Amino acid sequence: MSSCWAPQGIRPSIPSHYMREYRYCYGAINAQTGDSFFLIAGGCNTEWTNEFLRQVSQAYPDNYILLVMDNAIWHKSSTLEIPSNIDLAFIPPYTPEMNPIE
């Protein structure tokens, strides 16, 4: 944002290069310790969800992990690969306040 002088009653035009950019981030927080695990992803889809689950499982191989998730279609895909030390729990639709990481 910048400022400039213009004659009274004339609104100056300020050229800008507005571009919308997106970042996709998967995350998990341990409710007991506050520890967090994040993955900056290339998108929100089953492929990236599988990668996130794999990395969380590898980071905590000796722990049982209960992940609270929303009902995004890629969280419930038939091709979702859930590691053996992870279980998924789904919140009711349209209740982001029930997901602490949101």
Compute the average pLDDT of residues 4-17.
80
Compute the average pLDDT of residues 48-60.
98
Name the residue with tokens 């009274």.
8
For 69-91, the pLDDT digits (tens) are 999 999 999 999 999 999 999 99
Residue 65: its H or E element: strand 65-69
Does pLDDT of 22 surpass 60?
Answer: yes
Residue 95's contacts (CB-CB under 8 Å, 6 or more residues apart) are: none
Q: Which residues of 48-77 are buried (b: 16+ CB within 10 A; e: fewer)?
A: bbbebbebbbeebeeeebebbbbeeebbee
More confident residue, 23 or 20: 23
Q: What pLDDT is attached to residue 12?
A: 79
Does pLDDT of 1 surpass 70?
Answer: no
Taking the model in full, what pTM does it have?
A: 0.77
Question: CB of 38 within 8 A of CB of 26?
Answer: yes
Cβ atoms within 10 Å, residue 90:
14
